[in-house]
Structures are given as C-alpha cells and as structure tokens.
Structure 1
Amino acid sequence: MGNSAVGAGGSTGTDGEEPDEPGTPRRRAKHRSFWKELPILIGVALVLALLIKTFLVQAFSIPSESMQNTLQPGDRVLVDKLTPWFGSEPARGEVVVFHDPDNWLQDEPTSPQNVVQKALSFIGILPSADEHDLIKRVIGVAGDTVECKGTGPLKVNGKPLVEPYVYPGNTPCSADQAGGQFKVTVPKGKMWVMGDHRQNSADSRYHQQDKNHGLVPVDKAVGRAFVIGWPVTRWATLPVPDTFDQAGINTAAALAPGALTVAGAAPLVLWRRRRALTATPAAPNGDV
C-alpha cells in the first residue's frame, strides 16, 4: 500500500526493464557513439555557417591593389551583413563590398575553384570566386556633391578632404580627362565610391558612361568591411576616417534627422510650458 505505481503495470521501469534492487548502483543510460553523432554535429555546424554567411558576417578576399595601402591583395576582410537588414545604408568613409553594378568586372579574370573550395565558399568559410563583387571606399552619399579638379584635393560639398589613407605617392585626384576630372551630385539611392590607390582604381570615376553614370545603387551593397581578419599579421579594424566628420561637410539632407528631432521635441516643450502656466497660482489682482 505504501509503494506508488510507476505506470499501468506498476512494477516495471519505463524502459520495460526490471527496476534496480535497493542498494545497487543505477545503470547509466546508453549514449550514442561519437561516430553516430558526428554527422549530426557537422550538419548543425554547416547550417549555422550558412546562416551566418547569409545574415551576419561573410569573408571576402582582396584580389587587387585598388585599395592599397588600406587593404593588400590577399587580405581577408569580414563584412557586416546584419545592419543593412535594419535599414542601415552605407555612409561616407566606410569601406564597403558591393555587387558589380554594371559590368565593371567584365574584363577581370576569375580563378577556378575545386569542389572542396566551392563547398567552403558556399557556406561562407572561403570567399567565392563566382561572385562579382567589388570593394571601395564610399566618398559621397545622396545629396552630396563630389568634385575633383587638377590633382586635388578631393572635395565633398565644397569642403576639401584630408585623406591620409590615399596610397603614398598618389594624388587625391587624377589629372587625366578620362574620368579623373569631374563634379557629380549624388542622387537618392546611389553612392559615389573610390579606391584608396587613386591612380590604380577603376572606380566611379571611370564608369560614368554606364547606365548608373558611375554611381553604385545602394541596394547593390553587400555590407561594410569592418576588420581585416587574415593574415594574422595584418589584423586591423577599418574605422571611418576623421576627415568625414569635419564641420560643414553635411548636406541639408544629412541634417534632416536633427531637424526632425527638434520638430518632434516642440510639442513636448509647449505642453510642459502650458502645464507650468496652469499650475502657477493666480495673483490677487487676477494677473498671471
């Protein structure tokens, strides 16, 4: 009467085996062997890697000298793909990876990959050789006027930029007429990009005859390169240079969020003022 039943049968364990005798050690549950669990672990790891590549971070390889000395050929950069999902758009000074906007890479050879390399590229461990992507620095965004005269300096909204990242020995602007001299106002949804190795970068300047007039649609951006991850000796972050924070470079469009903040605060100020007035006791003569 004092013993509680385990189930409908009452006397057997849940696995159909006889219960252990009192005082005897309990038998350990049987575990799957390592080799049976290994395929599951590999499958989970591959799914996680694919999700990370798709939504969070992806590695890209630097194939050319166009971003020297900031980036060297063979560097592996990690690109933030998460923030664009929340509506963030490329900003001035950021180093961004973007899809080829209009056959910029049509004459560039692609190195073949074997089966293993293709598999690793698919899940994001290795960069893909099939994707036609470029990496440049954003110089102008919607509403900006970007200008080059002579050998420089490069100007944004009339303000000359101090560009310590430009390749040593290069001038900020190129004196050639093929694309080195320009004055462009960036429309909404586009960005103007340039390489740091100014005399060795086929960037926005030299594609002004394409369908986008050298501009890159914002929706072509893959994400911002935020760190050099490989080789280890080259590890470094990729911050936005201070030159893009200088006073006067912002356009009216760029200042709009501040104006909206002021406009949004106005009703609150008026409400507080009205509340303070109504809470003030009236003077004996009726005046406030």
Structure 2
Amino acid sequence: MPLPPIPLPPIPLPPAAVRRVLEAAYAEDAPSGDLTSLLLIPADASATAELRARVPGVFSGGPVVEAGFRLHDPGAVVELLVSEGEAFAAGAVLARVTGRAQAILTAERVVLNLVQRMSAIAALTARYVARTAGTRARIVDTRKTTPGLRELERYAVRCGGGRNHRFSLSDAVMAKDNHLAVLTGGDPARLTEALRGVRARLGHTTHIEVEVDRMEQIEPVLAAGVDTVMLDNFSLEDLRAGVELIAGRAIVEASGGVSLETVGAVAATGVDVISVGALTHSVVNLDLGLDVVIGTP
C-alpha cells in the first residue's frame, strides 16, 4: 500500500529535547571517550559519511542527525537529503556528514539508534493513517513510550501523519477504569457527581477525558460535561452504537487492541480519534546504515 503524503510539516522537535537525549546517550556510550577512534584514527583525519536506507520507510530525525554529529564536531557539515515525513526507498541516501573522522565515528551509533527508531515509528504511523483515509478518524499515540525518548518518539508519530495524545499526566484529566473504581467505589450513581466535582476544580482550558468499558457508563459521563469519551475495547457494533448515542456531545475515542488489520473497520464506525499504543511500544527499528565514502588520514 502506498504511503500517504503528509499535508503539513510536523510541529518541530524542541532543540533542548534533542540535546538532552543526545547528551545522556553519549554519556552512556562513550563515558570516557571513544577508545578505538582515539587510538586508531589521527586527530586531524577527516571523512565524509552517508546515512543510507537499507529498507524503505518514512524519514524522521533530521534534528537528531544534525545535532548528534555537531555535538562532537561543531564544524561538521551535515546535509539532510530528505525531508521530515518523506517516504524513501531502499538504497536512498538520507543524509551526508563531513567533518573530523574521530567525531563521526564516535557519534555514529547513537545517531543511528535514534533515527532508526524514529523513522520506524514514522513509517508505521503512516501505514495506520493510510488505512483510515476517507474517514474522520485521527490516529494518535499513547504514553506507552520508551522512558526518556517520549519527545522524540511522539515527534516521529507527527512525521508519519499521526497526532499526539496528552504528553504527560500533567497535561489533562484522563480518568480510566482504575480511577473510576477508586472514585466511585463501584457505584455508577456516583459517577456524574464525582466528575462534575473534577470539572468545578479545573480551569476552563483543561481537557477532561473519561474511559468507559460498557454502554451504560456513557450517559452518566456525558452528564458531567466531559470533553472526550474513550470507548475502550468496544466491539465494532458497540463502537457504532456509542458514536450514535454520544451524537456529537463529546469527542469519541476508540482504544484497545487496535491493529493494522482492524484500524480501517474501527475508523469506519465514525469515531473521531483512534489511539494506538503499538505506534511506539511495538515498533521494530528500520535498518539504516552509516558508511564512510571518503576518508582523508
């Protein structure tokens, strides 16, 4: 299936987030320097290396490529040969870097690790987006991200044409089944009152979402004036019924066990949002390589 075009460039990746991840990764990978490169490669040697795709995919990670090499060699020249969110074929040269050979060799693995993962997430997201074409549904990620890499992984989702759910626990109220079990003590009659109490304590810009796992919870949740109702692990028939019952009174999100095989049918039920944890928690890194094409000892 062809990958869909990305209509707008993704919201940029904050440079501070890129630097934070890179510094932590290099501290882990070369805590006392790159012993091999320091001993084998002359300090004044230069090189040009190409980032090449060994499989097709969708590119994400240009800011990481640029910052990753320049952290070790501020004078490195980095050329990005594809755009963020652009589909590429196997064999494509995605970027080229020229600079101190020691620095390129030291930076290589960290840059590859991150860009391989980001491009894999972008490619997988693009496949989900393609399978919902012609529907109103948006594909969004979840908080099931790699610790420390959330900003990069969620940027990759945007590169693939997807959108982001709340970034952290601090961004919105999202009451799930365990919250409701504690909040109501299992008494559905207390649900509306409890959620209205939450709304009364919040500012008007804070979003409230509530997860439901059965139809009879929907009306009590809507009566509290929530913004989004998440239909969790609903059958296709119940998703259609839930959309009809909610009838535009809130955003409808479908969640739970969504796959490439099922996402098209889920989107066809009329939901507004489909959250897919697999975009980040189950992706397999794309095979990209960095090859030195010119070396000057």
Provide TM-score, normalisation by structure 1.
0.22
Of Structure 1 and Structure 2, the greater helix share is in: 2
Provide TM-score, normalisation by structure 2.
0.22
- Between the two structures, name the one with larger relative contact order (CA 8 Å, sep ≥ 6): 2
